[in-house]
Amino acid sequence: MPPRIAPHVAPRTVSRRSLLEWLGKGTVLALGAPLLKACANLDAHGTTPEDVLPDESRAADAGADAVSPAADAVEAGGEAEAAADTAGDGSFPFEPGEGSGSIFTRWGERTVDPQDLRSILGGWRLTVDGMVENPRTFTWEELIGLTRQDQLTDFHCVEGWSVYDVPWNGVHLSTIFEVVRPRPEATYVAFHTIDGRYNESLPRAVALEPRTLLAYGIHGNTLPLAHGFPARVVVPRLLAYKSAKYVDRIELTDRPLIGFWVAAGYPYDAEVPPGRLRPGKY
């Protein structure tokens, strides 16, 4: 049975003060936009007609659309290619591989002011703790120094639209787990985010699937603010509300954490209907 779409949920926003305290100053994206939407628009294309997107979704994503190229810039049938480099050399942003043109090419025009980017990332930390043998806090440089995984996967929103071939860059959770060594009884992975407002969790088995990423980049650039900067979860075979944004803590636990959208009535398992999945893209 396809996942139930929850009734209308009033959008929530992160307060301007708390967001600026976490990110620093100089963000380009208007902070009044509901940053905690289940799915921020990634210039939806592919099988998604424009009239599928609700009016409120288009309005909420205006800030993201302002720095994204139009979908008609993509040649029909063309696909982006992710960078092939998997060596974690600590350098980022990096130049994507040749032939990587797509609607994401101009995402180098970040929604975070470039002059503030270094100081923001310099103060960011990712804590990984809970039922682990070796709790660890990673700096940005330490995180991107881990073996990088680049993948081209689809993005599916519960609202019914999809984005094809998103070129994510990040680190597989198994790589992080090798460092912290989860205990056997830790059967769930909880993701904690800005102010605790968009927390989410996954079964540990799902977190360890080959295409599940902690993403910190897209097409060779840091994430736009609307899409989870500096780090977000990406689970291509699940609906996007399970891919928590603005992650700053990962907790290994023995029980599921009921996140923002599940508490609002969305299914916990969040399986994408089979008819929307493309082979090799999830």
Q: List pLDDT tens digits, range 177-190.
A: 999 999 999 999 99
Average pLDDT over residues 240-254: 97
If one counts every other C-beta atom within 10 angstroms of the C-beta of residue 60, the result is 20
If one counts every other C-beta atom within 10 angstroms of the C-beta of residue 92, the result is 19
Phi, psi of 88 (to 5 degrees): -85, 90
CA 258 to CA 138: how far, in whole Å?
A: 25
- What pLDDT is recorded for position 226? 79
> At residue 26, does pLDDT exceed 50?
no
Residue type, 273: P
CA 212 to CA 165: how far, in whole Å?
A: 15
Q: Which domains does the chain have, with CATH numbers?
A: 16-276 (3.90.420.10)
Average pLDDT, the chain: 71
pLDDT tens-digit map of 110-137:
456 666 777 888 899 999 999 999 999 9
Is this structure's pTM higher than 0.85? no
Cis peptide before 114 (omega within 30 of 0): no
Q: What's the first-to-final CA gap in the chain, in angstroms?
A: 19
**Of 81, 92, 66, nearest to 170 (Cα)?**
92
If one counts every other C-beta atom within 10 angstroms of the C-beta of residue 204, the result is 18
40 confidence band (pLDDT: 50, 70, 90): low
If one counts every other C-beta atom within 10 angstroms of the C-beta of residue 161, the result is 24
